[in-house]
Amino acid sequence: MNVAVVLRGVATVAWLLALGIIALAVTRAAQGNSLKGATFMVGGVVILALVLTTAGAGLVFIQPTERAVVISALDDGIRPDPLQPGLNWVVPFLENVITYPISRQTYTMSIAPTEGQIQGDDSVEARTSDGQVVRVDASVIFSINPVAIVSQHIQWQGAYVDNLIRPQSRGIIRDAVSQFGIEEVYSTKRFALSEQIRIDMEEALGEGGLILHDFVLRNIAFSIEYAASVEQKQIAEQLAQQAAFVVQQREREAEQAVAIAQGIADSAIIAAEGEAQARVIQATAEKEALELIASALRDNPDLLTFEYIRRLAPGIQVMLVPNDNPLLLPLPELDVGTIPEPVPGETGD
């Protein structure tokens, strides 16, 4: 509960009561009644109202999220130390209290008409080192330094946003952007840009009695012409990547075709080697069979004649063999019914 506010409320009630009593006394006087009791009552209520008003004017309650500067007619115009949270006493009617919030505050400069503290486009226009124009959206998160609140009040008289935050941040952003190229601003060096702005802002605000908690680089917008060129560049890069992908795909397909052809060739080679080995085995078997036959004929010469007769026997019924010829000759043109007379010196079987 704010005691100072309560006292001011009670003092107000006392003054209203005093006015009521005065009105009542005036009415009684008009009717010819005595004013002795009313005069005493009016004096008592007025004194009580004066005391309560004085106490209410002298007591000041400071919230935990606030600090107060005392403007004094007694102490060189201002007290050297700020009022701390809680109930404080100031000289009534000779000292005035100005409170400041010490919690975090945010100041935003945005291209969006309704986002920033100023309606309309409040983004920071800056030029890069290579001459390109960009528009920067940013937010400054800060608070008043409780220790330096008296000096801060002397410097800015409460106008620290308009006279310190806004001009310093816009100037620092422009100076920082001018040290980077356009491609660095939106890609490779964006974090470095934000960090440089934060360092410079921290120093500038510290000198003005403020504490920088964070600097947020919200957005960087480019000119229409440069944005179109960036879009065309990105499209070209995507097409180049797509073409490279197609080339890689064709290379993989060619490698697969080579592998398939190699597999077919290897299969043909394996098949030919298998067939050659089979022929070698067959020729070796035939050779061994012929060697066995030759060996058998050497051991039994009549075996060939027997085999010859056995193979000819189903189609030959008569044969003429000279008596001095050891071989049998087939006579397929002879008719069985017309056998000629035997010639002396020949034998028929």
What tens digit of pLDDT does each residue of 91-107 get? 888 889 999 999 999 99
| Model confidence at 235: pLDDT above 70 | no
* CB atoms near residue 227 (< 10 Å): 11
| Model confidence at 162: pLDDT above 80 | yes
| 285-313 mean pLDDT | 73
pLDDT confidence of residue 35: 58
Q: Between residues 226 and 118, which one has the greater pLDDT?
A: 118
The C-alpha atoms of residue 349 and residue 54 are separated, in whole angstroms, by 173
How many CA atoms does the CB half-sphere of 268 hold within 13 Å? 6
Residue 204: what residue type? A
| 113-126 mean pLDDT | 87
The C-alpha atoms of residue 9 and residue 53 are separated, in whole angstroms, by 9
What tens digit of pLDDT does each residue of 73-91 get? 887 789 999 999 988 988 8
- Tokens in use for 24? 């009542």
Residues in the chain: 349
| 322-332 mean pLDDT | 51
| Model confidence at 121: pLDDT above 80 | yes
Q: Between residues 314 and 74, which one has the greater pLDDT?
A: 74
As a whole number, the mean pLDDT across the chain is: 80
pLDDT confidence of residue 167: 94
pLDDT confidence of residue 288: 79
The C-alpha atoms of residue 74 and residue 82 are separated, in whole angstroms, by 15
pLDDT confidence of residue 267: 80
pLDDT confidence of residue 318: 53
Q: Between residues 167 and 20, which one has the greater pLDDT?
A: 167
**What are the backbone dihedrals phi and psi of residue 334, each rounded to the nearest 5 degrees, phi first?**
-80, 140
pLDDT confidence of residue 334: 39
| Model confidence at 325: pLDDT above 70 | no
pLDDT confidence of residue 36: 59
The C-alpha atoms of residue 52 and residue 106 are separated, in whole angstroms, by 40
pLDDT confidence of residue 228: 66
pLDDT confidence of residue 346: 46
Range of 198-202, 262-266, 279-283, 344-348 with top mean pLDDT: 198-202
pLDDT confidence of residue 230: 65
The C-alpha atoms of residue 48 and residue 36 are separated, in whole angstroms, by 19
pLDDT confidence of residue 69: 95
| Model confidence at 163: pLDDT above 50 | yes
- b/e map of 71-93 (b: 16 or more CB within 10 Å)? bbeeeeebbeebbeeeebebeee
pLDDT confidence of residue 338: 42
pLDDT confidence of residue 3: 67
Give the rounded percent of residues in the chain with a pLDDT score beyond 90.
Answer: 32
**What are the backbone dihedrals phi and psi of residue 203, each rounded to the nearest 5 degrees, phi first?**
-70, -45
What tens digit of pLDDT does each residue of 16-74 get? 877 777 776 677 667 666 555 666 677 777 787 788 778 777 888 899 999 999 998 88
**Cβ–Cβ < 8 Å for 215, 138:** yes
pTM: 0.58
Q: May I ask the CATH architecture of the domain 105-222?
A: 2-Layer Sandwich (3.30)
What tens digit of pLDDT does each residue of 253-275 get? 888 888 888 888 888 888 888 88
Report which DSSP code applies to 83. B
pLDDT confidence of residue 317: 54
pLDDT confidence of residue 119: 84
- Tokens in use for 322? 């000279």
> How many Å is the Cα radius of gyration of the chain?
62
Region of poorest pLDDT, from 12-21, 151-160, 333-342 = 333-342
